[in-house]
Amino acid sequence: MKHKRSLIFAILLFLISQYAFSQGLEITGTVTNSEDDTSLPGVSVYVEGMNIIGTATDLDGKYALIVPSSASNLVFQSVGFQTQVVPINSRIVIDVILEPEALGLDEVIVTGYAIQRKEALTSSVSSVESKNIEAVSASNIEKRLQGNVAGVMTTSLRGIPGSAPDIQIRGATSINAGNQPLFVIDGVPAVSGETGASQSFSILSSLNPNDIKSMTILKDAGAAAIYGSRAANGVVLIETKTGAKGKTRFSFSADYGVSKVINTGFDMLSSAELLELQREAVENSAEYYNNPTKYDWTDPNGEYYLPDELANTDTDWWDEVTRTGKLENYNLSASGGNENTTFYLSGSYNKNEGAIMNYDFERYTGNVRLDHLSPNEKFKVGTKVMGSFSKQNYVYDASGGVLPWENPIFAAMAIPSYYAPFNEDGSVNFDLGGAHGNYNPHGVDKFQDQGQEYTKLLNSTYLEFKPWNFLSIKSTFGLDYGYTKSHDFEDPRAPIYAGREGYYWEGHENNIQMSISNTITFNKIIAEIHSVTAILGQEGMQEDYEYISGSGKGANHEMPYLSTTVAEGQEIEGNPSKLTSNSYFGYFSYNYDSRYYLQGSLRRDGSSVFGDDYKYGTFGSISGSWRISEESFFNSNFISKLKLRGSYGTTGNSDIAWYASKGYYSVITYNGESSLLPDKIENPDLKWEKTATTGIALDFGLLKDRISGTFEYFWSKTTDNLLYQELSYTSGFSSVLKNIGSLRNEGLEITLQTKNLQGELSWNTSFNISFPKSEILDLAGEDYVGTTYRHRVGGAYMEYWMYKYAGVNPANGMPMWYDENGNLTFTYSEASRANVGSPEPDFYGGLTNTLSYKGISLDFMFYFVYGNEIIFGDRHYSEHDGASWGENANTNQLDRWQRPGDITDTPKPLVNNPTGANDWDNSRWLDNGSYLRLKFVTLSYALPKSWLDRIKLSNLTLFAKGTNLLTFSNVNGLDPERGSTGSGSYKYPNTQSISFGTQIEF
């Protein structure tokens, strides 16, 4: 009975609809993708001006629509494609080919818990094109951000394969807590940062960059406040690829390349040059120390005998440690699905043989993504499992502030060219006259094994329930598991390791993060012009970290592992710890007639790291925009788009030690008994560091968006800065972490995109530039003076605080400094420190060009930084003026003072130079850190469709890509890219590479 009634009702409806449009015209057609001629399902087709009359294409890209006779144009719209407006002209069959959107992800953008159309944005959100992500050869995705987005400074101190850059979004907001952004992968906050003993392995380098669909950066609090306590440094949202309904598509790509370290003008002395320098130093010393008998290089029995024979051997140790690196990438993916279920599968292998000996990186990944929509379209479930295994070989470049002799870059700069790397019988030469502890880098390469392995499992599963179109309820469960095993073995057969008696060390780290988030989303357009979205949600997270390491003596090359042979001097350490958080949040957005937009968010966040009464903090934002160009009064042919937006919000920083607020006793040993001693004093009042950000921006498009761009300015102020307040030692403690101090960041960011040529030959340019400025406002009376850096009120976030070097006295070749009163002095201890510069640039940015003609396309990006100061700490050693007697020096020492009247900054050399000329904290080491770099060039050629059809392929592209091919800079070192602190010693420089590959799809 019931069924019958429904049937009648349906028939009635059918009749009515037939009647309503009986005066219309039925138009049919097929919509296809211009890229590969495949049909496009899900394209909305509607009558222009009457968007209630519309339909969508079916699985085969076909549509049928009855349109009123008054209709003149049809609109074809689909995410990721350029919208087309097609005149009907009385046709009844209209086939349309849609062009993919030039800027890929332009239509919609994921902004945290919500998905927005780009024109609806009210805050500062930028996305990076996947094309630009893929253009850079780096094993890790973070490095690929550089130069793409205004306001995002990405800079790497190390070029070690697998290492991470420093990423600062709109400056550093914190002095003591972390300054790295929060990474969110498919809606789940991800564990990031470094893991293992190498100090150069980024957790995110375990991801396959080819699995990434988009990276979106939430730069201001307006967008990021929804992530509350972890968002003060911005948020990077990573979306991974999903399947699409349609026929199964396979894609395979492979590339192979070579790399070498960037060297903008650094070289060590040859034997002849070193000999000349050393002899000069001995001669100078005879006079300086007034001891011609002792300082006589011609005396065969003397301490400083320097015969000609020394120069018979001339080894270029830099050549010995560097090599041609090799890059290999293979990636296979398949995706597809039907109306209800889609899938994406991929597997990849990446190998990166370092350009310096001892450094390698290898990665295997696998990824499965499944999404299912129930036939009644009310339930959607999906799951993703990404697994990977990575291996890194490395050498410590520094451990705990100490420079280890094992570091090959250190060795290359220290060992005199007098010594041969190998003995005549081919064995490693361990007799380097005691120089550099006889640590021949070939010996380290052969007899020391340092490495780590990282196993990653990333899972997220969601269930979404849509009882009505306007309401959806979603639960997402996330699991982020990482296991790191690091090891170090020193083969006792090598004389340099004999004293270590077969030392073997192994460390195991286990990190499990589990999270659950639940949201209710309400979405409705009321009376056609009021569009409302509201989200309520909750999120809980728990992270468990466990660490255990063991070491001992007695291992040998046959048993290089932790076994019973490693019986002597055993040490074992371990430490599990836990972090939890719980949050509630709400989000609201409203727009009126797509002209006025208003958004707000509120989040209440609780975290275990803070004091008992301050576990929860509240963060929020409000933002709005006005699309002036949509107003009826606005009528300009020149200005095609104009939008004004502004935002204000607060975010927090909780990136401090997990038990920072706690005071506790540690377990120690006395007389073989387990004992307790106070470890840390508690601060039960410890709370969030808070950053409030205000931003205004103008988005514009000119000449039908041929030129478009954004001008933005932001001010952010961080308060309750987590700083250590020093105490009276009589309390038993030196300092306590407190919420004191404040700092400000502000900056101008400009982004421009131009379509220079359109048509068969197309040329697009995009440009971004940022002018950052930071200032410390308050340190609560604490002046943070480090050895090289200083944080001071009124100063930039970080400043160099060094002895002011005044060059060399032309009369006697002695180094000079400025003293307290600004007078010249020869005495280093009288030199006075001054703020001599900052690692913060005046501006930085990127310029990208994309040219394409038929199947050929050329993309290249220049990255630039200007106005920062950097330090190559290794100059302290390799421009030692004789202080590190017996070690090699770099070619800057050729400019040394030699005779009265010489004008130079390099003093005369002296044996064991006591003048302090090469001391660490000399402003002599400051370099202008400005540089311009050709970040990437990609040239690709897609074979014509007609050829491919014959071999049943949908795409075959050949490509060549170069990374960091050119660097223009004047620095006295290898690579001007020096990380956010601007300095470091003997770091593996960034590399340049060139690779060739192919991508095949069918």
Partner 1 sequence: MKRNITYILILSVLIFYSCSEDFLNTEPTDAISNSIALNNYTNLSKATNGLYAPLRSSDYYGAYMQIAPEVMADNVKRSTVKNSSRYVQEFDLSIAPSVGYWSGLWELPYYIISASNNVINKIISGEFDQEKASDEEINQLLSEALFIRALCHFDLCRLFAHHYTIQDQSLAPGADGNGGHWGVPVITITDVTIFPARNSVNEVYKQVISDLRKAEKMVIFDKGKNFANQNSIRALLARVYHYRENADSALYYSELVINSGEYPLAEGEDVVNYWVQEEGDETIFQVYSNSNENYFPGNESLNSLFNIGTEYPYSDLVITEELLGLFDSSDERLNLYERDENNEIRTKKFLPKESYVSVYENNIKILRVAEMYLISAEANLGLGNNDDGLDRLNELLNARGLPDASNLTKSLILAERRKELACEGHRLFDLAIANEDNVRPENNATPLVNYPGHRYILPIPVREIERNENITDQQNPGY
Residue 976 tokens read as 């001007």
Q: Tell which residue, 838, 817, 839, 834, has the closest CA to residue 826.
A: 817
Which residue from 736, 814, 965, 994 is in contact with partner 1, where contact means CB under 8 A? Answer: 736
**Which CB, 153 or 723, lies closer to partner 1?**
723
How far apart are CB 785 and partner 1 at their closest, in Å? 12
**Which CB, 608 or 623, lies closer to partner 1?**
608
| Dihedral over Cα of 753, 754, 759, 762: its sign | negative
Binding flag, residue 578, partner 1 (CB under 8 A) = yes
Containing 999, the helix (H) or strand (E) segment is strand 991-1001
**Which CB, 59 or 668, lies closer to partner 1?**
668
How far apart are CB 581 and partner 1 at their closest, in Å? 7
Binding flag, residue 89, partner 1 (CB under 8 A) = no
How far apart are CB 376 and partner 1 at their closest, in Å? 10
Which residue from 73, 475, 565, 825 is in contact with partner 1, where contact means CB under 8 A? Answer: 475
How far apart are CB 556 and partner 1 at their closest, in Å? 22
**Which CB, 91 or 378, lies closer to partner 1?**
378
- Asked if residues 876 and 925 have their Cβ atoms less than 8 Å apart, the reply is yes
Containing 476, the helix (H) or strand (E) segment is strand 471-490
Contact map string, positions 374 to 393, toward partner 1, x by CB under 8 A: ----x---------------
Binding flag, residue 534, partner 1 (CB under 8 A) = no
- Count of residues binding partner 1 (CB under 8 A)? 61
Separation of alpha carbons 399 and 404, rounded Å: 7
Which residue from 659, 784, 920, 941 is in contact with partner 1, where contact means CB under 8 A? Answer: 659
Q: Tell which residue, 912, 906, 870, 911, has the closest CA to residue 891.
A: 906
Judged by DSSP in three states, 723 sits in: strand
How far apart are CB 665 and partner 1 at their closest, in Å? 4
Residue 542 tokens read as 């728990």
How far apart are CB 485 and partner 1 at their closest, in Å? 21
Residue 610 tokens read as 């803070």
Which residue from 6, 671, 787, 829 is in contact with partner 1, where contact means CB under 8 A? Answer: 671
Q: Between the CA of residue 95 and those of 63, 68, 70, what are the distances in Å?
A: 10, 19, 20
**Which CB, 473 or 644, lies closer to partner 1?**
473
How far apart are CB 793 and partner 1 at their closest, in Å? 17
**Which CB, 631 or 685, lies closer to partner 1?**
685
The span of 228-236, 462-470, 758-766, 887-895 binding partner 1 (CB under 8 A) equals 462-470
Binding flag, residue 675, partner 1 (CB under 8 A) = yes
Instruction: Annotate 295-342 with three-state secondary structure.
Output: CCCCCCCCCCCCCHHHHHCCCCHHHHHECCEEEEEEEEEEEEECCCEE
* Cα-to-chain-centroid distance, residue 537: 29
**599-628 positions binding partner 1, by CB under 8 A:** 606-608, 612, 615
Which residue from 230, 442, 487, 662 is in contact with partner 1, where contact means CB under 8 A? Answer: 662
Who's near 823: CB < 8 A, 6+ residues apart?
none
Judged by DSSP in three states, 16 sits in: helix
Binding flag, residue 682, partner 1 (CB under 8 A) = yes
Separation of alpha carbons 856 and 960, rounded Å: 12
**Which CB, 596 or 724, lies closer to partner 1?**
724
Per the DSSP assignment, residues forming a β-bridge with 606 are: 582, 616
Which residue from 495, 663, 855, 979 is in contact with partner 1, where contact means CB under 8 A? Answer: 663
Q: Quick one: DSSP state of residue 847?
A: E
Rounded to 10 degrees, what is the CA torsion of 286, 289, 294, 298? -20
String of DSSP letters for 537-590? EEEEEEEEEEEEEEEEE--BTTB-SSSTT--EEEEEEEEEEEEEEEEEEEEEEE
Binding flag, residue 999, partner 1 (CB under 8 A) = no
Binding flag, residue 579, partner 1 (CB under 8 A) = yes
Separation of alpha carbons 202 and 184, rounded Å: 15
Phi/psi of residue 142, each to 5°? -65, -35
Separation of alpha carbons 94 and 45, rounded Å: 11
Which residue from 36, 679, 830, 902 is in contact with partner 1, where contact means CB under 8 A? Answer: 679
How far apart are CB 661 and partner 1 at their closest, in Å? 10
The span of 53-61, 630-638, 664-672, 832-840 binding partner 1 (CB under 8 A) equals 664-672
Which residue from 670, 760, 787, 821 is in contact with partner 1, where contact means CB under 8 A? Answer: 670
**Which CB, 389 or 547, lies closer to partner 1?**
547
Binding flag, residue 577, partner 1 (CB under 8 A) = yes
Binding flag, residue 681, partner 1 (CB under 8 A) = yes
Containing 462, the helix (H) or strand (E) segment is strand 448-468
11: amino acid identity, one letter: I
CA 652, 658, 663: angle at the middle one, nearest 5?
110
Binding flag, residue 582, partner 1 (CB under 8 A) = yes
Which residue from 665, 853, 947, 968 is in contact with partner 1, where contact means CB under 8 A? Answer: 665
String of DSSP letters for 269-297? PPHHHHHHHHHHHHHHHHHHTT-TTTS-T
Which residue from 89, 301, 632, 674 is in contact with partner 1, where contact means CB under 8 A? Answer: 674
Contact map string, positions 331 to 370, toward partner 1, x by CB under 8 A: ----------------------------------------
The span of 585-593, 728-736, 756-764, 872-880 binding partner 1 (CB under 8 A) equals 728-736
Separation of alpha carbons 964 and 992, rounded Å: 5
Which residue from 49, 193, 292, 576 is in contact with partner 1, where contact means CB under 8 A? Answer: 576
Phi/psi of residue 970, each to 5°? -115, 25
Binding flag, residue 667, partner 1 (CB under 8 A) = yes
Binding flag, residue 581, partner 1 (CB under 8 A) = yes
716 burial (CB, 10 Å; 0-12 / 13-18 / 19+) is: buried
Binding flag, residue 293, partner 1 (CB under 8 A) = no
**300-319 positions binding partner 1, by CB under 8 A:** none
Separation of alpha carbons 694 and 715, rounded Å: 5
Q: Between the CA of residue 463 and those of 226, 371, 571, what are the distances in Å?
A: 21, 10, 48
221: amino acid identity, one letter: A
What's the chain's Rg over C-alpha atoms? 32
**Which CB, 475 or 998, lies closer to partner 1?**
475
Separation of alpha carbons 806 and 816, rounded Å: 5
Residue 601 tokens read as 């968010």
How far apart are CB 470 and partner 1 at their closest, in Å? 13
Binding flag, residue 571, partner 1 (CB under 8 A) = yes
Contact map string, positions 511 to 530, toward partner 1, x by CB under 8 A: -------xxx----------
Binding flag, residue 465, partner 1 (CB under 8 A) = yes
**Which CB, 732 or 759, lies closer to partner 1?**
732
Which residue from 564, 637, 730, 829 is in contact with partner 1, where contact means CB under 8 A? Answer: 730
How far apart are CB 625 and partner 1 at their closest, in Å? 30
Judged by DSSP in three states, 760 sits in: coil
Binding flag, residue 467, partner 1 (CB under 8 A) = yes
**Which CB, 425 or 571, lies closer to partner 1?**
571
Q: Quick one: DSSP state of residue 890?
A: B
How far apart are CB 288 and partner 1 at their closest, in Å? 20
How far apart are CB 885 and partner 1 at their closest, in Å? 15
**Contact positions vs partner 1 (CB under 8 A):** 378, 465, 467-468, 473, 475, 518-520, 537-538, 540, 542, 569, 571, 574-582, 606-608, 612, 615, 658-659, 662-679, 681-682, 726-734, 736
